[in-house]
Chain A
Amino acid sequence: MNQKAKLFDLFLTFARIGGLTFGGGYAMLPMLQKEVVENKKWATEEELLDYYAVGQCTPGVIAVNVATFIGQKLRGVIGGIVATLGVVAPSFVIILLLATLINHFAEYAVVAHALAGIRVAVAALIVSAIVKLWKKGIKDALGVVIFGVVVLLSLVLNVSPIIIVVIAMLFGILYGRVSGRKEGK
């Protein structure tokens, strides 16, 4: 599936993703689906979900975790490092420029209005991303129940994502043992 992706292409693609993402790791999801899954076919929707799951319970910024994962998958350790540098590069440059040149950037009215608009678009983009993930990640009634319980735990009871992920993993192992699901499903 993946012909050898060029390192430079890897860097540029992730730089583009990093430069177009407003608001952190989850906001990056629609960009990743577009660039990495649909355009380059470097990973599948399922793999993206798995990377997010791992990124949720490993140290560091999720966006960086996902970039390292995909780079590593394509070109090994070097690929992981190159993709990570790519995703970080634009924000590094932008923040440096802002810090040296414009101190109160976020206080300009035009910037504030534009950002308020962008946040609406990010919300709509994440909803569409969830629609895609739903089709890939939730395949049966058990999945729907897990989804519902997680939303309840996280939104209503404010349980930390790490704890939720750990519980889901343990439940998966337990359920696998009990149900005797066939291997390689």
Chain B
Amino acid sequence: MVYLLLFYEFFKTGLFAIGGGLATLPFLYEIADKYTWFDEAMLSDMIAISESTPGPIGVNMATYAGYNAGAYVGGVPGGILGAFVATVGLITPSVIVILIVAQFLKRFKESRLVQDVFYTLRPAVTGLIACACFTTMSGSLFFPEAFGSFQQFSDVFNVFSLPAILLFAVLLFGILKFKKVHPVVFIAIAAVVGIVLQF
């Protein structure tokens, strides 16, 4: 029964992939290895699609992988069922764990131990988010791998993407200045600029 297997495999992925969407990748490679549902080439397509559509990447991956696995045995209807089963499988363990942790936190919110833990945890997580931001930036504003081929001054334009940095500065100014504007407005502006200037 492929759908039970799908649920089981993605439940396992959801349970053991700790720390966000890309942590699901090793598990997906394992699934690709073990079953004929999708292969590794399709996985890289999946990553591209997950990164270029809205929503959590891990969820996108589960939906897409589930669709391919289901469609492999049952065409389009099978694919839709597979997508559903895989997605629900992926999120079930984390929902259960969080519901338990949330109850626990609610009860012990004022306790000394929980207060102590979050006192140092907040700056640490802010640091982690800053690092994630830096990683996002390094792909679109500057290209660290080009540092190696740095030979003359004009190569500086291979390392830094000037239009992207300008856009970044203007957007950041706008975001900090016009606090009432919804973030999606800036995303839309950036998408248009990206198309017009051929980013």
| Interface residues, chain A, with chain B CB atoms under 8 Å away | 18-31, 34, 46, 49-50, 52-65, 68-69, 72-73, 77, 80-81, 84, 87-88, 90-92, 94-96, 98-100, 104-107, 110-111, 113-131, 133-134, 136-138, 142-144, 146-151, 154-155, 160-162, 164-165, 167-169, 171-173, 175-177, 181, 183-185
Task: Report, nearest first, the 8 A-B pairs whose CB atoms are least far apart.
Answer: A117-B194, A60-B94, A91-B55, A176-B116, A150-B127, A121-B190, A172-B120, A116-B199
The size of the chain B interface, using a CB distance under 8 A, is: 98
Q: Which residues of B contact A (CB under 8 A)?
A: 14-22, 24, 45, 48-60, 63-64, 67-68, 71, 76, 79-80, 83-84, 87, 90-91, 93-95, 97-99, 101-103, 105-106, 110, 112-113, 115-134, 136-137, 139-141, 164, 167-168, 171-172, 175-176, 182-184, 186-187, 189-195, 197-199
The number of residue pairs between A and B whose CB atoms lie closer than 8 Å in the complex comes to 375
Residue of B nearest to A154 (CB): B131
Please give, as numbers and ranges, the residues of chain B lying within 8 Å of A90 by CB-CB distance.
54-55
Q: Which of B98, B112, B183 contacts A58 (CB 8 A)?
A: B98
Closest residue of B by beta carbon distance from A70: B102
Looking at chain B's contact residues, is the secondary structure mostly helix, strand, loop, or mixed? helix
Question: Given the complex, which residues of B lie within 8 Å of A69, measured CB to CB?
Answer: 98, 102
Q: Write out the residue numbers on chain B whose beta carbons fall within 8 Å of the beta carbon of A20.
A: 54, 183-184, 187
Give the Cβ gap from B31 to chain A, nearest Cβ, in Å: 17
Selected from A59, A127, A143, A154, the residue in CB contact (under 8 A) with B172 is A127
User: Which of B98, B115, B118 is close to A68, meaning CB atoms less than 8 Å apart?
Assistant: B98
A2 to chain B, nearest CB (A): 13
A-B contact sample (18 more), CB < 8 A, given A25-B56, A56-B19, A106-B52: A18-B55, A22-B52, A28-B56, A50-B121, A50-B122, A61-B14, A61-B94, A64-B58, A80-B102, A91-B55, A91-B63, A94-B54, A113-B194, A121-B167, A124-B172, A128-B175, A147-B127, A150-B131
